[in-house]
Amino acid sequence: MSGLSVAIVGGLHADARRTAVERLLAEVPDSVALHHDLSTAADGTVRRTVRNLAGVTDTGQTPLVNDCACCALRADLVPELERLARGGLTRLAVVELWDSVEPKAMAEVVAASGLTVTSVITAVDPALVLPYLADGDDLAECGLAAAATDRRTVADTFARQLEYAPVLAVADSAEADDEDRALLAQLHPTARRVPLEGDRPGAPAGAPVALGGAPVPGAAHGTAPGAGSATGPAGAFRSPLADAAFAGFDVEAAAAAQHPACALLPVEADECGVATLVWRGRRPFHPERLYAALEDLTCAAARSRGRFWLADRPDTLLHWDAAGGALCVEAAGPWLASLPDAAWDLVPPVRRAAAALDWHPEHGDRCQHLVFTSPGLDQDGLARLLDSCLLTDAEYAAGREAWSRLPRPFDTFLEV
């Protein structure tokens, strides 16, 4: 099955997502798109569509699994991909995810089956980034829930879709301004951003890609491989989007980049009215003062995330994840400094490397590392508020035994 490449394209911005899929079908010969429509879940089924550039080639339905449309998608997707691989006629399978389906789970399911995921792409309309990050509505209220138990919101779902993908297919939106583009760039600074319109000078959108070393349209006007186009496998000259579909994807590295202990968080930035504050601290938070400040901290930015520690639970790494005016705090396992030496051999190298970068002679890898990104961010006021939540000199000097007796308001979050 190694001849089949699988590119996963997702995102809540449906128009941008559909445009990206259509471009890939037009630009990559022998490509097909698979889409599972979860909107039919209320009827007890998920509808599957397979199509190529000429149109629909196959349809089918699969029943829900445990009353979960997303589970049905996972159960049906791999057999369909395996069928395409066995046929030997498909070069690229484009898995177009339904609106609220997150790419991480799908990429891991496909990779675990032995198929080759060559790209994960989230399609984005820059003008919609802030409205979606500010939308705290439940997916169920919008008809986008993947299961009866789905309690996700529009904002946190969109944030995960955006931040997991190493490639962002960016729509050419007339409504987007410099602030919108700056916000997108700061939310995911390491992403490869590929334009969905005008990315091949001299070639109309959707024009076929020349193969076998033939010049791409526009080459006579000075467009060479690497300048608005790229050379892909088998001598195919591609647009940046089609090239990104074959770029390669590491499922384990992508998961590590999202794990709270070693997440690759944004760096400080300030451009076009959008700022990113990276706040760090070594002392633990006073649990009661931090809890009292949660509403102000959560509403201070369109998006905030990171890891932190509390004085009353010094061995627990806590994950901070906020969007849409809502905050999720979760325990993400122990800090490495709290583990016996023998346990370190069981820790992934990427986690040990991240801990080494943050190592402190007294606290080990325990640290405060929170990142806030938003238009109009009050960086100084936010930093003062965070600083005020740390232990004072006297509280810090009292030591761990005294810390353990502090109030424990975060038990509500952590269900202790």
Contact between 76 and 36 under an 8 Å Cβ cutoff? The reply is yes
Domain shared by 320 and 380, yes or no: yes
212 belongs to a structural domain:
no
Domain shared by 287 and 156, yes or no: no
CATH code assigned at 330: 3.30.1220.10
81 belongs to a structural domain:
yes
Q: At what angle do helices 154-164 and 251-258 cross, to 10 degrees?
A: 130
Rounded to the nearest integer, the mean pLDDT of the chain is 88
pLDDT digits (tens, 9 = 90+) for 311-345: 999 999 999 999 999 999 999 999 999 999 888 88
301 belongs to a structural domain:
yes
233 belongs to a structural domain:
no
Q: What is the number of structural domains in the chain?
A: 2
Element spanning 195, H or E: strand 192-195
Domain shared by 247 and 311, yes or no: no
Domain shared by 187 and 103, yes or no: yes
Contacts of 410 (CB under 8 A, 6+ apart): 287, 290, 291, 310, 312, 313, 318, 329
Q: Which residues pair with 36 in a beta bridge?
A: 48
Amino acid, single-letter form, for residue 198: G
Domain shared by 314 and 179, yes or no: no
Q: Which residues pair with 374 in a beta bridge?
A: 275
Q: State the pLDDT at residue 234.
A: 43
Domain shared by 250 and 110, yes or no: yes
pLDDT > 90 fraction of the chain, expressed in percent and rounded: 74
Domain shared by 36 and 114, yes or no: yes
Domain shared by 183 and 279, yes or no: no
pLDDT digits (tens, 9 = 90+) for 218-244: 333 333 333 333 444 444 546 899 999
pLDDT digits (tens, 9 = 90+) for 130-152: 999 999 999 999 999 888 888 99
Domain shared by 248 and 290, yes or no: no
Residue 213: pLDDT band by 50, 70, 90 thresholds? Answer: very low
pLDDT > 70 fraction of the chain, expressed in percent and rounded: 89
> 281 or 200: which carries more pLDDT confidence?
281
CATH code assigned at 247: 3.40.50.300
Boundaries of domain holding 254: 5-199+239-258
Residue 203, pLDDT > 60, answer: no
Cα-based angle 299, 302, 303 (whole degrees, multiple of 5): 100
Domain shared by 103 and 182, yes or no: yes
Domain shared by 139 and 189, yes or no: yes
Question: Tokens 């986690």 correspond to what residue?
Answer: 351
Residue 21, pLDDT > 80, answer: yes
Cα-based angle 58, 61, 62 (whole degrees, multiple of 5): 130
